[in-house]
A and B are shown apart, each in its own frame.
Chain A
Amino acid sequence: MKDHMLCETPSLTRRSILSTSGALFAWANMPRLASAAGARDPRFVTIILRGALDGLSAVGPIGDPDYAGLHGDIALSLTGPDAARPLDSFFALNPGMPNFHRLFGARQAAVVHAVATGYRERSHFDGQDVLESGYPGPGFATSGWLNRALAQLPAGQSVRQRGGLGVGVVTPLVLRGAAPVVGWAPQIVQPAGDDLGRRLLELYQHGDPALGDALARGLDIDKIASREMNGEKGSRGGMDSVAGMIQAARGAAKLLAADDGPRVAALAFDGWDTHANEGGPRGRLAQLLSGLDGAFAEFEKGLGDKWRDTFVIAVTEFGRTARINGTVGTDHGTATVAFLAGGAVAGGRVIADWPGLKDRQLFQNRDLAPTTDLRAVLKGALSDHLGVGAAALGTQVFPDSIAVKPMKDLVAA
């Protein structure tokens, strides 16, 4: 707190080093890695978007005749002052993501749409448990699939050897577990995010106006102060702000780029729970997406020549309702998008088995229906990019998921 200084230069500390006990798979059994004869030195980054991203406002199915009607004022469109950026003849990208659009054009980015984990309820807490733990249901929140994937790699393999990087004061669950992980946070003292402040003000407004008045004034003062210090507009730099996301990605990229640095990283960005005034092509969601977009750009820049062998995937616990609600936002839903970026991504495409948006096509007449299991996407990436074996993926990494086959050809040849 007071004696903790802020800083921007990342470095590493080994939190825990696990002895490299018996390798389950021999190095030579890894097809892609073996064919590259050790020339590859892959990086893998997972970004958890906490709060449930509205996939239909992030990547709009503008070719679907029912889209504009359903998603109302926050639907993307190819016309107007905030025109979405076309990805193909059917999908368009939120205008807040110019970098991702550029990468997509360079075949270094892809989108998976109508994707969801196996979780079909609508609790953030449980949904995040499932997303990050990799288990079929909630309640197994002690280790994450990315950590268990690391643990499956043969000892001596560079990814296993260099271990994982958890960004944030606490490593995201997805990377927690027995395999060695180092931690780094852009600031040891993360200020509370704007969204948390908003929610608390709302609680006080009903329950304790005196506390609400004081807090509102305190947040205003703080905004002015941070504006004066940073010479930029009012963000407190939390993980739900553009500045916070960019800062986190910049530091992580620097660490991942180092020859002796970690090869795998996990970050968590907050604020995606857009129940009210979500905005579509502009506004709150677009702002958040521009933070994520900036993070992709930071990874590209910071990783330098390592970028060509990098796979970044941004995932969220579930999507949001296809229809907008009474407060120009969306409520908890089911299927959504996953963003893939990096030189190792076989990009330039939106991967979707499109379910349609007619009432009867919606999941429970409410949400975009899931047609792709997110675990298939993750398995495809872990298998072809990091060389995690199929048997381990179906049992230890994503328990009880042998039936979910890894998606093929996600990784550039």
Chain B
Amino acid sequence: MANDPKSGWTALNRFGFGARGDGDLAAAAADPRGFLLAEVDQPGIALLDGPGLASTPSLLKALFDEQEKRRLEREGADRAKIASALQVVQGAEPPQMQMAATGDAAAPTQAAKPPPSVEQIAYRAEALARVQRATAARAGFVERLVCFWSNHFCVSVAKGQFIRVSAGAFEREAIRPHALGRFVDMLKAVEQHPSMIFYLDNQQSIGPESKAGLNRKRGLNENLAREIMELHTLGVDGGYTQADVTAFARVITGWTFVGREGRLGPPGSPLFFANFHEPGAQTVFGKTYSQSDREQGLAVLDDLARAPATARHIATKFAKHFVADDPPPALVDRLAQNFTATQGDLKALAKTLIASPEAWSAPAAKLRNPYEFLVASARVTGRTPVDAGPILGGLATLGQPLWSPAGPNGFADTAASWISPEGMKARLDISWQIASRIPDMANPVDMLDKIAGAAASTETRQAVARAESKQQALALLLMSPEMQRR
């Protein structure tokens, strides 16, 4: 595929996060597939580390400590309710006016706010690191893969402080190391991670015949077991029954994490708690598992990962995300076969997508989701975010608050779900905000050339060139079909 501008555009937009305009479009056009393969083959490319990014146990320990401190403070406050009430009044924020920044700096500090909490600090640091990585990435295909798997195995910070503090670490620890590795390893890492355990309530699930179950009047919680089968592996039509869900739930009783007291290990670290575990063999999806302890659940995950229904489910979702809402059956078949043949080698899956002609010929009918749109905008304007605030605010406004989907099925992944009247209006306002905050910008017509080149339509070129100001021109560029579609 020698010098192919259209495929260069496809490489950057369908697979990646859009062009940065630093010569990447030409590089992609020169060898579209090689451009992507080079990124995928870069060792450790999916891993993310950096200052302010801590491990799940240390984050959870900090959270537990802060919660304990808050509890003690509350108790203290109860003893002096009047004083406390007074303090609340004094601490309330006065009505503020807003100051605009000259340049794009954040609004100046306002009157005394309570110091940010442990979970806010962690959430913002993780968000910023993630967005900076995506903004700086060469093609961004690997970051797109991370986003895909993170949404497939989603947790939601809406569940509370526990997830807010750990969602970013969850992605770094359970998703990233395996995004170009094996599916079964990602599956095992995810389902044992405290963040997922807490999100789907498995720390509360107690085997009825376990030591704890016999002592207490509490029992199974099927939430995690069901979502593993329905969402993470087999898919809703994967052929499992309610009996399979219940049996599997028994299998993974005891999969939990160490609490604040740290009696069984470092607080916040994964734990198999035998006292909760349902003893004995279980039959799941036609096979009997008689392993003991944690091994029993890991064996079920091994089998779920290699079930044909899982290959089909993953292949379909993968093709829908990258290529089309209604993907070509031949593409889905090829991806599913590859998944099965390689025993869930996710790098091979990514390479199969790169090698598939359908991925290069399908029209750009998908709409960038809000995260992809904001990252693509940051890349186009060459402005790496230095503060998580605007990105997190923008994502919330656009309906995709970071790591906060409404349910365990993650954010919707069809064009129709994002092409809503209020969504498009919000995109327009945000595009204008982005554009109107850039003081010294290059000519947006040149920017369009750098990011789309020959792939830019005449209409878009004219609309940008005829805008009444550079700010308006950039806003039109950000809203153009070339930037919105992929």
Contacts and interface: CB of A to CB of B under 8 A. Distances in A.
A307 interface: no
Contacts of A219: 425, 428
A191 B102 contact: no
- Max chain A CB contacts within 10 Å: which of B102, B423, B428? B102
B123 to A, nearest CB: 13
B275 interface: no
A7 B469 contact: no
Interface string B39-58: 00000000000000000000
Interface string B434-455: 0011111001100000000000
B425 A2 contact: no
B394 interface: yes
A211 to B, nearest CB: 6
B476 A7 contact: no
Chain B interface size, under 10 / 10 to 19 / 20 to 34 / 35 or more: 35 or more
B459 A1 contact: no
Nearest to B398: A1
Contacts of A91: none
A372 to B, nearest CB: 24
B421 A217 contact: yes
B297 to A, nearest CB: 40
B459 A203 contact: yes
Contact of A199 (B102, B103, B463, B485): B463
Interface in A161-214: 166, 168-171, 173, 176, 181-185, 187-193, 195-197, 199-200, 202-204, 206-208, 210-211, 214
A7 B394 contact: no
B10 interface: no
B99 A183 contact: yes
Interface stretch (B90-98, B218-226, B238-246, B348-356): B90-98
Interface in B102-118: 102-104, 107-108
Interface residues of A, number: 70
Given A188-B107, A200-B428, A5 B98 contact: yes
A169 B437 contact: yes
A206 B443 CA distance: 24
Contacts of B470: 124-125, 128
A218 B379 CA distance: 27
Interface string A210-244: 11001111111110000000000000001000000
A206 B458 CA distance: 10
A199 B439 contact: no
Contact of B432 (A12, A50, A51, A196): A196
Contacts of B214: none
A387 B227 CA distance: 74
Contacts of B480: 203, 207
B13 interface: no
Given A3-B389, A215-B425, A208 B481 contact: yes
A50 B426 CA distance: 24
A128 B419 CA distance: 35
B428 A215 contact: yes
Contact of A189 (B429, B440, B444): B429
Given A9-B97, A141-B440, A168-B100, A203 B476 contact: yes
Contacts of B443: 125
B393 A3 contact: yes
Contacts, number: 183
A11 B99 CA distance: 7
Given A1-B394, A170-B102, A214 B420 contact: yes
Contacts of A5: 96, 98
Nearest to B367: A211
B460 interface: yes
Given A170-B439, A199-B463, A219-B425, A4 B99 contact: no
Contacts of B473: 125
A11 to B, nearest CB: 5
A89 interface: no
A218 B457 contact: no
A347 interface: no
A52 B469 CA distance: 10
Nearest to A268: B469
B433 A7 contact: no
A207 B457 contact: yes
B264 interface: no
Interface in B357-391: 367, 389-390
A125 B441 CA distance: 10
A271 interface: yes
Contact of B97 (A8, A142, A168, A273): A8
Contacts of B271: none
B233 interface: no
Nearest to A164: B102
B430 A1 contact: yes
Contacts of A384: none
Contacts of A8: 97
Given A185-B100, A221-B421, A1 B436 contact: no
Interface of B: 95-104, 107-108, 367, 389-390, 393-394, 396-397, 419-426, 428-433, 436-440, 443-444, 457, 459-460, 463, 466-470, 472-473, 475-476, 479-481, 484-485
17 contacts: A1-B393, A1-B396, A4-B107, A5-B96, A15-B102, A50-B468, A124-B469, A168-B436, A176-B439, A183-B101, A191-B432, A199-B467, A203-B463, A203-B481, A204-B481, A206-B459, A219-B428
